[in-house]
Structure 1
Amino acid sequence: MDKAKRNHPYACCRALFLGFLVVCLSYWSVKADDLAGVDLSKGASFIFGDSLVDAGNNNYLPTLSRANIRPNGIDFKASGGNPTGRYTNGRTIGDIVGEMLGQPNFAAPFLASNTTGKAILYGVNYASGGGGILNGTGRIFVNRLSMDIQVDYFNITRKQIDKLLGSSRAKEYLGKTSIFSITIGANDFLNNYMLPVLSIGARITETPEAFINDMISHLRNQLTRLYQLDARKFVVANVGPIGCIPYQKTINQLNQDECVELPNKMAKQYNIQLKGLLTELTQNLPGSTYVYANVYDLVMELITNYDKYGFTTASQACCGNGGQSAGIIPCGPTSSMCDDRSSHVFWDPYHPSEAANLLLAKQLLDGPTKYISPMNLRQLRDL
């Protein structure tokens, strides 16, 4: 460079700019290499909840609630029929919804050692068998992840996504192309307020209405925390007809077409308040959309008209032992198992079969506002 160019007043600035540009290009080329093969256009599923959607988190906890034993997972093709920690014979509703929305991978359990790096961009599953909205729920299982802990874990994932994508791109990715699904609340009734013997003291001191109010208050805080971490598209499932599961039918010695009144009554009371909460949050949190999944009516439809959907029973567990509905002892290696898993609405004393999950998932994806409102999940994805 000649003397005139060296002494040009902008020569130094130009050199600094070029150096900065080289550093930036090098940085982004590394980022591009790190994300090679990752298709962000399909978005991701971030799944929170209980055993209805647990994909294996409880495998990594010292807990009495686990499903990583045969014959659970016998129809889960991705594992070759081996148990994964899912509490059903195949895919959960969360798995099926993600698959039908075109997401290339199932949301991986947060606690799995390989749920790191770019794998988290396909979504993460935080759900835990026995978990509830309230931290005391599921204590009978010793360990489980409450909703509060699940949100804490998402906070960790949130920071990792920032490192992978940069803060601006991460915020857009979470807000526009990711869906946050929450399926929780049943354990707060079954394994907390109505837990035989252990819950008697709580029921004396707290009315059902006060207990439900406590649930709603906690859930409001948990959903708001997710919003503050840049979640914007939510689907929240209400509590299903828990008085109709094979376990309840068996321990209460009910006929095939009967359900236990109190659990269903409390579920319906909670569901009314949940729907109001989601309307409130949509109005008060700018840019948010909270979709209400009416699982109660969906499952009740399957139970009431099971033969219409190709099932032979909606009261008998396919895998389980004890009582007329095989509803006392959970599914395990010594359990009896039905010959045709697709003919049963319930896989075990508590959880739907994959065949039932498939029908439920299809309604959530493309169904009418009777079951999913104010829009279905495909419309939420495209919003």
Structure 2
Amino acid sequence: MARTKPFGILLIMTCFALLDHSPGSCGGIAEKEAAAAAAEIQGMFVFGSSLVDNGNNNFLQGSLAKADYLPYGIDFPLGPSGRFTNGKNVIDLLGDQLRLPSYIPAFANPSTKGRSLVHGVNYASGASGILDDTGSLAGHVMSLNEQIRKFEEVTLPELEGELGGGRRESFARYLFVVGSGGNDYSFNYFLRSSGNNVSLEDFTAGLLTTLSGQLKKLYGLGARKFVLMSLYPLGCTPMVLVRRPAEKGCMQNLNMAAHLFNTQLKKLIDELNPQLPASNFVYVNAYKMVRDIIRDPSSEGFMNARSPCCQVSSIAEGGNGVLCKRGGSACGNRSAHVFFDGLHPTEAANAVIARNAYASNRKTVVYPMNVEQLARI
């Protein structure tokens, strides 16, 4: 942050000086500044669950959490790819903001090797969690621990040969994005809560302790620039709302869990920064962004914040209440919907999150800086 402040002041002074002569100059300077920041980042390494998964589960034998069929990918240039949305997910859109030359490839894709690694790798796995046992109901998924092991044992040796130089110097130009934790509540803690003697507070504390160790592990492997995604408002998804049609609001116990996790995650950033020299963390408050849209959909151009855009098969119909029906229908105006299926946002909602993560100056949305500022460090 200290390195960018003088340039920001100079930019403002320059803009005032140019106002009388060239009204468009300030915008041009701002665009060049953004381009310079984006150029600092060579790629992303992505870890997490289905909200950031670029298709790993397609290649996992026995996985039930797949999005490799229509209507998923109906608006994506490559069609159904394993992304749990109609088009681009938040990682693709963040890559657009960073001007990366290609989509981040899925680790499990056999073609992800050699030069295809140089702009990063996506290890995220739908239905996975911070805890190893989260996702067991979905068959074979890669937990966050397994994702980090794949990075260390498979990608890292090959990537060091491609990049050359020291690991610390090489990874200074990469973002390490982590978006995990929601499934640990929705498909772990709350599913076994009837026989669970662990309080929500204790479960959350344990979850954050585990995540802290995983982030420190990534740091030890060379990561320096971290982007941590908060949990979404878990109690406001169509998957939850459809089970209580008489209720108008969200399920507060789920939202309370997400809010508790997010509060502790933000505190974790302040704890880790002094512990890990030369590290920088950005906390992206996706919870607030999605919650604000749900409260006032029209503020971001949405019309429907409660129903899925695609046809979702209920449990009674043999589905899981989350995923789109294979070959099922999808709404026509997808940009008007917040959610594409029972859990995952549409590309339009992902675009709001990515745009704010990259450029917002509100500390309630990104903390302590935005991704653009992180890229310049």
1:5 matched residue in structure 2 = none
Report the Cα offset of residue 365 of structure 1. Answer: 0.5
2:53 matched residue in structure 1 = 54
Correspondent of 1:284 among 275, 289, 292: 275
In 1, distance between residues paired with 2:110 and 2:131?
A: 27
1:45 matched residue in structure 2 = 44
Report the Cα offset of residue 210 of structure 1. Answer: 1.2
TM-score, length-scaled by structure 2: 0.85
In 2, distance between residues paired with 1:200 and 1:140?
A: 17
Residue 242 of structure 2 aligns to a residue whose secondary structure is helix
1:208 matched residue in structure 2 = 200
What percentage of aligned pairs have identical amino acids? 37
In 1, distance between residues paired with 2:256 and 2:241?
A: 15
Report if the CA contact (8 A) 2:118-2:163 is conserved. Answer: no
- What amino acid does structure 2 have at the position aligned with 1:274? L
In 2, distance between residues paired with 1:372 and 1:68?
A: 32
In 2, distance between residues paired with 1:308 and 1:228?
A: 42
- Does 2:168 correspond to 1:171? yes
- What amino acid does structure 1 have at the position aligned with 2:359? D
1:368-379 correspondence runs (5 A): 368=361, 369-379=363-373
- Does 2:296 correspond to 1:305? yes
In 2, distance between residues paired with 1:362 and 1:65?
A: 27
1:157-168 correspondence runs (5 A): 157-168=155-166
In 2, distance between residues paired with 1:303 and 1:226?
A: 34
In 1, distance between residues paired with 2:283 and 2:47?
A: 15
Change in Cα spacing, 1:329 to 1:102, as seen in structure 2 (3 Å) is closer
Report the Cα offset of residue 214 of structure 1. Answer: 1.1
Change in Cα spacing, 1:53 to 1:100, as seen in structure 2 (3 Å) is same
Q: Once the two structures are superposed, what CA deviation does each residue of 1:310-340 show, in whole Å capped at 9, x if it has no partner?
A: 11110010012368xx993520335332111
2:18 matched residue in structure 1 = none
Q: Once the two structures are superposed, what CA deviation does each residue of 1:131-190 show, in whole Å capped at 9, x if it has no partner?
A: 10001111111111111001101112122121122242x43121x211011111100000
In 2, distance between residues paired with 1:302 and 1:96?
A: 18
Correspondent of 1:137 among 121, 124, 134: 134
Change in Cα spacing, 1:59 to 1:273, as seen in structure 2 (3 Å) is same
- Does 2:180 correspond to 1:184? yes
Report the Cα offset of residue 276 of structure 1. Answer: 1.1
Larger CA Rg, structure 1 vs 2? 1
Residue 133 of structure 2 aligns to a residue whose secondary structure is coil
1:70-89 correspondence runs (5 A): 70-77=70-77, 79=78, 82-89=79-86
Residue 319 of structure 1 aligns to a residue whose secondary structure is coil
Residue 190 of structure 1 aligns to a residue whose secondary structure is helix
In 1, distance between residues paired with 2:300 and 2:371?
A: 22
- What amino acid does structure 2 have at the position aligned with 1:129? G
Report if the CA contact (8 A) 2:71-2:329 is conserved. Answer: no
Change in Cα spacing, 1:130 to 1:315, as seen in structure 2 (3 Å) is same
Residue 336 of structure 1 aligns to a residue whose secondary structure is coil
Report the Cα offset of residue 290 of structure 1. Answer: 1.1
Change in Cα spacing, 1:362 to 1:179, as seen in structure 2 (3 Å) is same
- What amino acid does structure 2 have at the position aligned with 1:259? C
Report if the CA contact (8 A) 1:246-1:349 is conserved. Answer: yes
**Greater RCO (CA < 8 Å, at least 6 residues apart):** 2
Residue 374 of structure 2 aligns to a residue whose secondary structure is helix
- Does 2:354 correspond to 1:330? no
Residue 118 of structure 2 aligns to a residue whose secondary structure is helix
Report the Cα offset of residue 208 of structure 1. Answer: 0.8
- What amino acid does structure 2 have at the position aligned with 1:235? V
Correspondent of 1:362 among 327, 342, 355: 355
Report if the CA contact (8 A) 1:72-1:332 is conserved. Answer: no
In 2, distance between residues paired with 1:187 and 1:277?
A: 20
1:21 matched residue in structure 2 = none
In 1, distance between residues paired with 2:73 and 2:283?
A: 28
- CA RMSD in angstroms, aligned pairs only: 1.8
In 2, distance between residues paired with 1:51 and 1:320?
A: 18
Change in Cα spacing, 1:334 to 1:114, as seen in structure 2 (3 Å) is closer
Residue 180 of structure 1 aligns to a residue whose secondary structure is strand
- What amino acid does structure 1 have at the position aligned with 2:251? V
- Does 2:235 correspond to 1:238? no
Report if the CA contact (8 A) 1:182-1:237 is conserved. Answer: yes
